[in-house]
């Protein structure tokens, strides 16, 4: 792949950003900017979007394995850091494709496959960790149900995007600070940070269970809204 000058890459990145409307706080103010920096450096050295996707998958796999098999109080925080790093590369691959103007269905498909596998496996790994450490059966069940929830949510979002007509973008619509904060619990970063508390059982159990209940309620509201939209077509 042809290498780009850093100035050229920065200019291309600045003109090809996704809108910030409805984007959770961490993704909007932390992950996308970090992913942009990675994408620019990748463009400078001539890396490809698929290579960044592979790095994201490897970091995510390392985090999942460390959750499931690691021991010691250091394992959960390190796993959380690996997952957060993988999340940065998950943002960087799309930004690199826009910098290089080489985005296509194959790369987008691969990116979604990695996301679709990683999301439930994180919670499966949490269930394994809880089982190994003698946690309560109720909390283990929450982790197992969480893996089903994130898979169902992921599939429902993809199908809705495919079946519903694309909404027209309004030039007057601007990103809301409050909306980004409200949507933060749905962002993967919230799950990863809570996973870093696995070695502190009480704090983890409360935070993880609360997050599950919140996401379940939001998912139910989302399903109802999307079903009504689809019935109206």
Please state, rounded to an integer, the average pLDDT across all residues of the chain. 94
pLDDT recorded at residue 103: 77
DSSP labels, 118-157: HHHHHHHHHHHHHHHTT--HHHHHHHHHHHHHHHHHHHHH
- The whole-number pLDDT of residue 51 equals 97
Low-confidence ranges of the chain (pLDDT < 70): 1, 16, 167-173
- Does residue 208 lie in a domain region? yes
Residue 92, in any domain of the structure: yes
- Long-range contacts of 66-71, Cβ-Cβ distance < 8 Å, separation of 24 or more: 67/122, 67/125, 67/126, 67/128, 67/129, 67/195, 67/198, 68/124, 68/125, 68/128, 68/129, 69/128, 70/129
CB atoms within 10 A of CB 166: 6
Give domain status of residue 172, yes or no: no
CA torsion angle for 136, 142, 148, 149 (degrees, to 10)?
A: -170
With vertex at residue 180, the alpha carbon angle to CA 51 and CA 182, rounded to the nearest 5 degrees, is 120
Looking at residue 1, its pLDDT comes to 67
Opening angle at CA 29, ends 158 and 57, nearest 5: 50
Q: Give the pLDDT score at 169.
A: 55
- Does residue 170 form part of some domain? no
Whether residue 179 is contained in a domain is answered as no
Residue 168 lies in a domain: no
Q: How far, CA to CA in Å, does 180 sit from each of 31, 171, 184?
A: 13, 19, 6
Give pLDDT, residue 218: 97
Q: What pLDDT score was predicted for residue 175? A: 78
Three-state SS at 12: helix
| Chain position carrying tokens 């993880």 | 208
CA nearest 4: which of 85, 94, 98? 98
* pTM score: 0.95
pLDDT at position 56, please? Answer: 98
| Domain extent at residue 105 | 6-163+185-231
Q: What CATH number does residue 83 fall under?
A: 1.20.120.1760
**Does residue 115 fall inside a structural domain?**
yes
The reply to whether 178 falls in a domain is no
**For the chain, what is the domain count?**
1
């Amino acid at each position: 792949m042809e290498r780009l000058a850093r100035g050229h890459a920065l200019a291309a990145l600045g003109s090809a950003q996704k809108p910030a409307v409805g984007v959770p706080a961490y993704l909007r103010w932390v992950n996308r900017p970090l992913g942009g920096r990675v994408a620019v450096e990748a463009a400078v050295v001539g890396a490809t979007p698929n290579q960044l996707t592979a790095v994201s998958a490897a970091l995510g796999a390392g985090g999942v394995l460390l959750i499931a098999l690691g021991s010691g109080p250091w394992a959960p925080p390190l796993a959380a850091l690996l997952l957060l790093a993988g999340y940065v590369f998950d943002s960087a691959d799309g930004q690199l494709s826009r910098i290089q103007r080489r985005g296509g269905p194959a790369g987008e498909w691969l990116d979604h496959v990695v996301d679709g596998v990683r999301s439930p496996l994180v919670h499966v790994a949490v269930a394994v960790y809880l089982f190994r450490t003698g946690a309560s059966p109720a909390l283990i069940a929450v982790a197992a149900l969480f893996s089903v929830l994130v898979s169902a949510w992921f599939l429902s979002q993809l199908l809705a995007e495919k079946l519903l007509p694309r909404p027209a973008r309004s030039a007057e619509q601007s990103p809301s600070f409050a909306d980004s904060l409200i949507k933060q619990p749905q962002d993967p970063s919230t799950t990863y940070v809570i996973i870093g508390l696995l070695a502190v059982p009480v704090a983890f159990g409360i935070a993880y269970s609360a997050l599950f209940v919140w996401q379940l309620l939001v998912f139910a509201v989302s399903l109802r809204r999307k079903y009504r939209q689809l019935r109206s077509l």
